[in-house]
Structure 1
Amino acid sequence: MNFIDRRATLTVLGVAVAACVVVPNVLSPYWIYLAISAVVSAVIMQSYGVIVGRVGVMSLCQMSFAAIGAWVVLRLNLSDAPGGFLLWLLLGGLAAVPVGVAIGLPALRIRGVNLAVVTFGFAVSTDIVLNANQFPGTTELKTLVRPEPFDGDGGYFILAVVVFLLIAAGLALLNRTRLGMSWLELRHSERAAASHGISVARSKLAAFAISAFIAGVGGGLMAGQLGLVVAGNFAMMQSLALFAVAILIGPHNPEGAVMGGVFGAVMATILEKLKLPQDLGGMLFGVFAIFALRSGVSQTDFTRARKRERQARKFLESADAGDRREDAASAPVEVPAAVPPPVGRAGTAALAARGLGVRYGEVVALDAVDLTVPEGAVVGLIGPNGAGKSTFIAAVTGFVPGYEGAIELDGRSIDGLSPSARAQRGLRRTFQTTVIAPELTQYEYLAIGAGRRLPKKEADELLEFFGCPPGDVPVSIVDVGTRRLLDVAAAVAARPKVALLDEPAAGQSAAESLRLGRTLAQVPERFGVSVLLVEHDMELVRAACAQVTVLDFGHVIASGPTEEVLEDPAVMAAYLGTAEVPLS
């Protein structure tokens, strides 16, 4: 947990403790009731924080999960089930989990507005069912009795605050796990997450399950507050309104959940008591919308990011200016001494593609391509734009299904495996365009790439080796070139069999590119990772690669030792644009 997150957590904890002392002893019963409503809303907002804030999924049915939790609690109360309210609250949350998983299944194939329509359809269906069937206890007029010592409104407020804090603490711990960090990566790029060995399906379903559980607990708390509930408490428009608040405020941060709960529960009453027009609430909502549109993130994310960046910049300014990347343009770049590129171990193939073919209708992107990456070697894959280089990487890593031919990793076939499964087997890649969650620190991104939390010494060694800033620096303030280096470092951090690097030197100067080439040449010996390098920079290729394969129009036109291949007339003609299109 970084300093900003720790300070925000302590602030929320301090406010919660103060509220538990002040609210029951100072406020009138009416305001205590509103305070309970605000905390219950904040609990439900945390479910939006998981699915909307962390994963970025447009879910419009969280109040339907809350209705399930309330229904179960009231059903158990009507039956005088053993265990009492606190156990019923837990069971209500658990009852919502399988429904959350079922609703999450469409998210594996659809997203965006289409998924929003599916989830909103579930909310509408739930609304119809609830209006046709009353909640348990309504006909019998059997209200839910709160347990001691929480039977009074003051005590129940404290219970609601404790539940909120327990959920917030659980989510804070979850954020530090691979699952929690994978949600942030899913929000920005599912392809990048899969390339790091993250199962997109499992991560999304886990998010739906956990968010449904939290919403179910919130619904149970609402039942405990009101004694009996009606369908109107969980109307579909409630889900829509809270979704809008979640987008603007950011309930995945504890302070955002509190703000969302207060805004939803007591804003109208506060305006009425202050004799202010209700339209002012809409104006405030509009101000938040402007901030969200301006920054592309929620208000609490925006505020946290600015504080985190200011702290990181102060840290960088206090560090040695010669080690800072932003000074690289004005200071000579230290280029490692040239070393002979590793040639690999004879007869041992870390990666082998045989007869690899990819067709898009009548267009042949790859035609029977053979390519081998020996163990312990750096192999180059070059060719003009549109030659099929990125298509080759995409096919090998599983992002292009239905290819022809066979692919083996460390002597074992990986045909038919998903991208995440191939990554878990030891095949990692980078992309031409990096999509890294800006709120992550470099340490956190390395942990995602490695699939484990790296010891600080190991992480620092990787960052220093690839010329990245200190690990506590957030990704949001590093330049594009550094992000590409960080992407390479994350791929190597996993210690895969083979790392496939797609133009990692883009955005770097000639000297920095040469430095990277000589750095990559040391990767197999230092980290035990073979490398397939896709590049246009020939000096980088010469510095890093012992062997090169050249593609043109999806065909291999040359393959062999680097210098021999680069001097081949056919290769020179292809780069000069005079090569003839091969016949298929």
Structure 2
Amino acid sequence: MNLVDKRGLAIGLGLSVLACVALPAVLSPYWIYLAISAVVSAVIMQSYGVIVGRVGVMSLCQMSFAAIGAWVVLRLNVADAPGGFFVWLVLGGLAAVPVGVAIGLPALRIRGVNLAVVTFGFAVSADIVWNANPFPGAKELKMLDRPEPFVTDESYFVFTVIVFTVLAVALGMIGKSRLGLSWYELRHSERSAASHGVSVARSKLAAFAISAFVAGIGGGLLAGQLSLVVPSNFAMGQSLALFAVAIMIGPHHPEGAVMGGIFGAIMPTIMEKVSLPQDFGGVLFGVGALLALRSGLSQTDLTRMRKRERGARKLLKAGEDAKEAKEAEGGATAAPLAPAPVRRPAADRRPCLAVQGLTVRFGEVVALDAVDLTVPEGAVVGLIGPNGAGKSTFISAVTGFVAGYGGTVELAGKRLDKLGPSVRAKRGLRRTFQTTAIAPELTQYEYLAIGAGRRLARGEADELLEFFGCPPGEVPVSIVDAGTRRLLDVAAAIAARPKVALLDEPAAGQSAAESLRLGDRLTRAPEAFGVSILLVEHDMELVQATCEEVTVLDFGHVIASGPTADVLADAAVRAAYLGAADVPAT
């Protein structure tokens, strides 16, 4: 996976150089000072970009992290500590990290408005502390001297642009890594992230730590701009205003951070010029944030997505035109499928997944009662039953999403019972869900990389997408239909080369022909990818065509288990699930 967008990097560096050369030459000293404020605000907006834009966490205390960075820089200045401003700036950012992690700990248990209250509570507490204890240097009026060669406002503006650019490049690289991509998945579904082997706790705490570091750097830059700071520079109201800007604009993209910084720095001046109350700017930000929350996407997300979708639709159209041209010339529309592999009887193969006596209770309700199920190596095994029979509960318990169950779960002979979902996924037990929750901002390549849990070669990703009949990998998830998203979910689960993949109704949303084609692919998947499959489905044609063995659940009990044809011919199965009509068992 390429961690650097070379074209975007070249454009960003070019604009940074242009700003450093042109703006100091054309702007008056007053506007240069405002430009510095805008860039410092843009740095702090980048911290919102990590925690709000990427992870989707409602954090209202980023300015408190900035205050910590400023406090450390000024304290080191008062102490005449070695290293100078450049070292102090980094130390200020690092000092905010443990506080960010501590604030992030509640995010492991609570989210949404409740988490917003916790972070805002910290911002209020920090305000009280700063007002009761002046920042270092305030009493003795010891000013912070800017380092050479960035003493003047013009040169310090260049320095702030350099810092912003370095952070933007670093955050861009993190955003393309598995950690950064997992943040997008956390934003949409923590369960889906855990099923791909992502440690939800580690990823969230990493986001809080990185965002706190960036905010701390921003606070240190503000101290360098002002030489001395006061508590009002980091008031909790600013955290609220910048949060609204972050929701509206999307500072997880560099252009969004710049726009947010400009709005934050220039808006008060604009309000003054047009004779409007300063609070009116906050009202505008609040309205914009509400509109962004209603659409679910920030302005920069929408702009980038539309641009990417235009390119993807051209790619899809080119593929369709090539297919039509091939058909017009009499060419085959698809390569002939190879004969299905011939497998040994299940009894001759070692069990890959062995579930014994699985019992799940929700209060007085017994969802699963002593269920036994075995998935042999290289097998496709079915799990069927009426709605409410316990099929999804079975998958959730086996993959670790239901704690406190009875019985045992063994994968390749090793017990998994005390392990969480992400650890089980890393051990080789992957799953899909009935409802997909794929971040629309991702491309299919990026989603496969999350599922694989490693750097996925482009050729390997293309092979997976072609195998399951998905569009080209550059196509964003936002424009693929629900059926294709299910196929992509299956491809992502198998991309990790797990020992067992538990697929929860992957054919939902597929036509009859597409469903049978999926069945053919699932039949070949064990040989092609070395994975065993447990298939939960209501499509009986798919089950008959794909599964060697079937287990039937009814009200949490196993009522039949064995070869597919024998089970589907069982009178009890027909009465409980299939109805009175005979179903051909093939």
Q: What is the TM-score of this pair, normalised by structure 2?
A: 0.94
| Counterpart in the other structure of 1:270 | 270
| Counterpart in the other structure of 1:493 | 495
Which whole-Å CA distance do the structure 2 matches of 1:247 and 1:125 have between them? 24
User: Could you tell me which amino acid in structure 1 is paired with residue 554 of structure 2?
Assistant: D
Relative distance call for 1:483 and 1:341 in structure 2 (3 A) is farther
Unaligned runs of 5+ in 1: 580-584
Shift, 1:249, TM fit: 0.5
User: 1:238-280 CA distances to partner (integer Å, 9 max, x unpaired)?
Assistant: 1111111111110000000000000001122134346677687
The answer as to whether partners of 1:335 and 1:512 remain within 8 angstroms in 2 is no
Task: Report whether the alignment pairs 1:468 with 2:470.
Answer: yes
Shift, 1:315, TM fit: 1.2
Relative distance call for 1:245 and 1:506 in structure 2 (3 A) is same
Which whole-Å CA distance do the structure 2 matches of 1:121 and 1:138 have between them? 26
Shift, 1:339, TM fit: 2.8
Which whole-Å CA distance do the structure 1 matches of 2:4 and 2:76 have between them? 42
The answer as to whether partners of 1:336 and 1:515 remain within 8 angstroms in 2 is no
| Counterpart in the other structure of 2:379 | 377
User: 1:127-156 CA distances to partner (integer Å, 9 max, x unpaired)?
Assistant: 000000000000110000000110100010
RMSD: 2.3
Shift, 1:14, TM fit: 3.0
| Counterpart in the other structure of 2:242 | 242
User: Could you tell me which amino acid in structure 2 is paired with residue 61 of structure 1?
Assistant: C
| Counterpart in the other structure of 1:156 | 156
Relative distance call for 1:315 and 1:280 in structure 2 (3 A) is farther
Relative distance call for 1:19 and 1:59 in structure 2 (3 A) is same
The answer as to whether partners of 2:244 and 2:288 remain within 8 angstroms in 1 is no
Which whole-Å CA distance do the structure 1 matches of 2:280 and 2:92 have between them? 37
The answer as to whether partners of 1:503 and 1:534 remain within 8 angstroms in 2 is yes
- Equivalent residue for 1:453, pick from 424, 445, 455: 455
- Equivalent residue for 1:509, pick from 508, 511, 521: 511
User: Could you tell me which amino acid in structure 2 is paired with residue 406 of structure 1?
Assistant: T
Shift, 1:23, TM fit: 2.0
Task: Report whether the alignment pairs 1:29 with 2:59.
Answer: no
Shift, 1:19, TM fit: 1.5
The answer as to whether partners of 1:4 and 1:304 remain within 8 angstroms in 2 is no
User: 1:316-369 CA distances to partner (integer Å, 9 max, x unpaired)?
Assistant: 111234769xx9xxx999994663674547241110100000011111110000
Which whole-Å CA distance do the structure 1 matches of 2:60 and 2:28 have between them? 35
Which whole-Å CA distance do the structure 1 matches of 2:197 and 2:43 have between them? 32
User: 1:214-237 CA distances to partner (integer Å, 9 max, x unpaired)?
Assistant: 000000000000000000001111
Which whole-Å CA distance do the structure 1 matches of 2:514 and 2:120 have between them? 51
Instruction: State the secondary structure of the residue aligned to 1:556.
Output: strand
Which whole-Å CA distance do the structure 2 matches of 1:114 and 1:341 have between them? 55
The answer as to whether partners of 1:344 and 1:376 remain within 8 angstroms in 2 is no
| Counterpart in the other structure of 2:406 | 404
1:101-250 → structure 2 map (5 Å cutoff): 101-250=101-250
User: Could you tell me which amino acid in structure 1 is paired with residue 537 of structure 2?
Assistant: E
Which whole-Å CA distance do the structure 2 matches of 1:374 and 1:423 have between them? 18
Which whole-Å CA distance do the structure 1 matches of 2:170 and 2:446 have between them? 19
The answer as to whether partners of 1:337 and 1:518 remain within 8 angstroms in 2 is no
Which whole-Å CA distance do the structure 2 matches of 1:265 and 1:527 have between them? 55
Relative distance call for 1:79 and 1:293 in structure 2 (3 A) is closer
The answer as to whether partners of 1:341 and 1:543 remain within 8 angstroms in 2 is no
Instruction: State the secondary structure of the residue aligned to 2:553.
Output: strand
Which whole-Å CA distance do the structure 2 matches of 1:336 and 1:62 have between them? 56
| Counterpart in the other structure of 2:584 | none
| Counterpart in the other structure of 2:20 | 20
| Counterpart in the other structure of 1:582 | none
Relative distance call for 1:259 and 1:277 in structure 2 (3 A) is same
Which whole-Å CA distance do the structure 1 matches of 2:85 and 2:77 have between them? 8
Which whole-Å CA distance do the structure 2 matches of 1:111 and 1:276 have between them? 36
Instruction: State the secondary structure of the residue aligned to 2:386.
Output: coil
| Counterpart in the other structure of 2:64 | 64
The answer as to whether partners of 2:380 and 2:548 remain within 8 angstroms in 1 is yes
User: Could you tell me which amino acid in structure 2 is paired with residue 176 of structure 1?
Assistant: K
Aligned residue pair count: 574
Which whole-Å CA distance do the structure 1 matches of 2:575 and 2:549 have between them? 19
Shift, 1:296, TM fit: 1.3
User: Could you tell me which amino acid in structure 2 is paired with residue 303 of structure 1?
Assistant: T
| Counterpart in the other structure of 2:73 | 73
The answer as to whether partners of 2:244 and 2:285 remain within 8 angstroms in 1 is no
- Equivalent residue for 2:395, pick from 383, 388, 393: 393
User: Could you tell me which amino acid in structure 2 is paired with residue 115 of structure 1?
Assistant: L
Task: Report whether the alignment pairs 1:433 with 2:429.
Answer: no
| Counterpart in the other structure of 2:482 | 480
Task: Report whether the alignment pairs 1:307 with 2:304.
Answer: no
Which whole-Å CA distance do the structure 1 matches of 2:347 and 2:47 have between them? 52
The answer as to whether partners of 2:247 and 2:293 remain within 8 angstroms in 1 is no
Instruction: State the secondary structure of the residue aligned to 1:354.
Output: strand
| Counterpart in the other structure of 1:543 | 545
Unaligned runs of 5+ in 2: 582-586
Shift, 1:294, TM fit: 5.0
Instruction: State the secondary structure of the residue aligned to 1:548.
Output: strand
User: Could you tell me which amino acid in structure 1 is paired with residue 105 of structure 2?
Assistant: L
The answer as to whether partners of 2:548 and 2:564 remain within 8 angstroms in 1 is yes
Instruction: State the secondary structure of the residue aligned to 2:456.
Output: coil
Which whole-Å CA distance do the structure 1 matches of 2:290 and 2:303 have between them? 14
User: Could you tell me which amino acid in structure 2 is paired with residue 557 of structure 1?
Assistant: I
Which whole-Å CA distance do the structure 1 matches of 2:293 and 2:317 have between them? 31
User: Could you tell me which amino acid in structure 2 is paired with residue 126 of structure 1?
Assistant: A
User: Could you tell me which amino acid in structure 1 is paired with residue 191 of structure 2?
Assistant: R
Which whole-Å CA distance do the structure 2 matches of 1:512 and 1:322 have between them? 21
User: Could you tell me which amino acid in structure 2 is paired with residue 368 of structure 1?
Assistant: A
User: 1:79-112 CA distances to partner (integer Å, 9 max, x unpaired)?
Assistant: 1111100000000000000111111111111111
Which whole-Å CA distance do the structure 1 matches of 2:290 and 2:209 have between them? 32
Shift, 1:578, TM fit: 7.8
Relative distance call for 1:74 and 1:165 in structure 2 (3 A) is same
Instruction: State the secondary structure of the residue aligned to 1:301.
Output: helix
| Counterpart in the other structure of 1:365 | 367
The answer as to whether partners of 2:432 and 2:503 remain within 8 angstroms in 1 is yes
- Equivalent residue for 2:351, pick from 349, 357, 362: 349
Relative distance call for 1:345 and 1:54 in structure 2 (3 A) is farther
User: Could you tell me which amino acid in structure 2 is paired with residue 441 of structure 1?
Assistant: T
Aligned-residue identity in percent: 75
| Counterpart in the other structure of 2:340 | 339
Which whole-Å CA distance do the structure 2 matches of 1:333 and 1:434 have between them? 28
User: Could you tell me which amino acid in structure 2 is paired with residue 339 of structure 1?
Assistant: A
Which whole-Å CA distance do the structure 1 matches of 2:500 and 2:321 have between them? 35
User: Could you tell me which amino acid in structure 1 is paired with residue 426 of structure 2?
Assistant: Q
Q: What is the TM-score of this pair, normalised by structure 1?
A: 0.94
The answer as to whether partners of 1:12 and 1:255 remain within 8 angstroms in 2 is no
Instruction: State the secondary structure of the residue aligned to 1:522.
Output: helix
User: Could you tell me which amino acid in structure 2 is paired with residue 511 of structure 1?
Assistant: A
Shift, 1:447, TM fit: 0.5
User: Could you tell me which amino acid in structure 2 is paired with residue 479 of structure 1?
Assistant: D
Shift, 1:576, TM fit: 4.3
- Equivalent residue for 2:532, pick from 506, 526, 530: 530
